[in-house]
Amino acid sequence: MDTLPTPATGSEAVPLSGPAAPPLTDDELRALYSLMVSVRHLDTSAIAWQRQGLIPGYAPELGQEAAQVGSGFAVDTSRDFVFPTYRELGVARAMGVDMVAYMSTHKATWHGGLYDPLESRLAPIQAVVGGSVLHAVGWAHGQTLTGPADGRLGVAMAYFGDGASSQGDIHEAMNFAAVMKAPVVFFVQNNGWAISLPTELQVAGGSVAGRAAGYGIPALRIDGNDVVAVVDATRRAFAHCRAGNGPVLIEAMTYRRGPHSTSDDPGRYRSLNEERDGAGEDPLERFRQRLLADGVAGEAFFAEALAAAKAEEEEIRAGIQALGPRPGSEMFDLVFQETTPALRAQAASWREESEHV
């Protein structure tokens, strides 16, 4: 649905301005499917890698591939900037981020990942719940203060879940963005669970999108398991922001089919029957059937996409295994914008010592 009633008054929510996004081409539809297959295999493999000791921890996204790939696919990496949480592997892959560099964070090789945020347009992975939203609003507000260098307005997109929506930082960010008309898309993946607590027990009113009206922000509540609907909604939201109309909130309704993280046991708070009933149709299989029915792709294409995903998975695994420890002196290059004389001396000492090791 495109608009939601305000829970307190029942009045209509703020409408989203701008034209509808153009339909996806057949090539784009096939690209989306290939990305979803790739993400599915990387995600399930990452769980195995954790069990095998290759990485110490991981936050799975099984069942959320459509929400992540669809939204990431809509980003213009020449001007936009995305601010992820710790569960946006699918977004990173859709944006073309080097996945070995991305996974370096999960291996604890380097905080924030080894990829270049400025080049990739993906901010460092944020583990603080709700923290990335503040960063997104700050970057977006900066766009309105200084204006883009090339005249092409960039839009920030911040990811968070239904659980994080209860954080005070989220409300402050939404209010500030609305008042300042910051070009930011608040992308909520409502996967039904805030770790062990279901949405209905921690989101008053039952809808995160319903809260947007209180800040004068347009909201789209969409089927987050329909990748085409996700692309369409995200493109419309970006167009609204680029036109100078301020922020948009998207609530993509999906389901977390696995644990919150590799240290979580979902069996403690929901049964397998509840998980199967709540998950609904697999978004990957659902999209596959759509492409078949519309004559956009056939079995040969699906087999090729699967083979490519498996080959990519093996390459990434080998790359992760080859990652070595980072030099401690690197913190002086990447952490401090301006170093003091004492820090410069310490950095020189560390580098000298490392050369003799």
Q: Output the six-digit token pair for 95.
A: 């944006």
Q: Provide the pairing of β-strand 197-198 with 219-223.
A: unpaired
Q: Output the six-digit token pair for 343.
A: 């820090």
Catalytic residue from among 30, 40, 260, 317: 260
Q: Which residue has the tokens 């009045």?
A: 11
Q: Output the six-digit token pair for 124.
A: 């460092």
DSSP, collapsed to helix, strand or coil, labels residue 100 as helix
Q: Which residue has the tokens 């996204």?
A: 61
Q: In Å, what is the CA distance from 347 to each residue of 69, 111, 235, 276, 353?
A: 41, 19, 45, 54, 10
List CB contacts of 97: < 8 A, sequence separation 6 or more: 115, 120, 122
DSSP, collapsed to helix, strand or coil, labels residue 126 as coil
Helices 65-73 and 26-51, axial angle in degrees (round to 10): 130
**Whose CA is closest to 279, among 307, 257, 262?**
257
Catalytic residue from among 171, 269, 290, 326: 269
Q: Which residue has the tokens 């992760």?
A: 320
Catalytic annotation present for 317: no
Catalytic residue from among 256, 257, 288, 317: 256
Catalytic annotation present for 256: yes
Catalytic annotation present for 141: no
Cα torsion 107, 41, 185, 211: sign? negative
DSSP 252-284: EE----S-SSTT--GGGTS-HHHHHHHH-S-HH
Task: Write out the catalytic residue numbers.
Answer: 256, 260, 269
